[in-house]
Amino acid sequence: MKELNHIQYQIIRSLTFAEPFETLMEEVEASEPVIVAELRTLIDSRYVQVMVDEHGNGQFRNSFYYDADNMRDFRYVATSRGQEMHDVYQQQ
């Protein structure tokens, strides 16, 4: 992926910290299927990292697995690469 589109930019802007999917639903101006598709693209491009709280104690760790049918079960955070792309988009 060379450039972000507007939805991807909004997603990365919302993911400074490990955020639940519900945060994206509130902050991104798109329908849920569009957000899911764009989030999956960002994950595949390594611009967003999937986070999981295995023990339910609020301590999140990187996860290399996520269930695309249950995106609400995870949290997400922008990677440094994602933040760089965000900054490039913002300067345009």
pLDDT in single tens digits along all 92 residues of the chain: 678 999 999 999 999 999 999 999 999 999 999 999 999 999 999 999 999 887 777 778 888 778 888 898 899 999 999 999 888 877 77
CA distance linking residue 47 with residue 33, whole number of Å: 19
8 A C-beta contact, residue 67 and residue 4: no
Q: What is the pTM of this model?
A: 0.88
CA distance linking residue 50 with residue 70, whole number of Å: 12
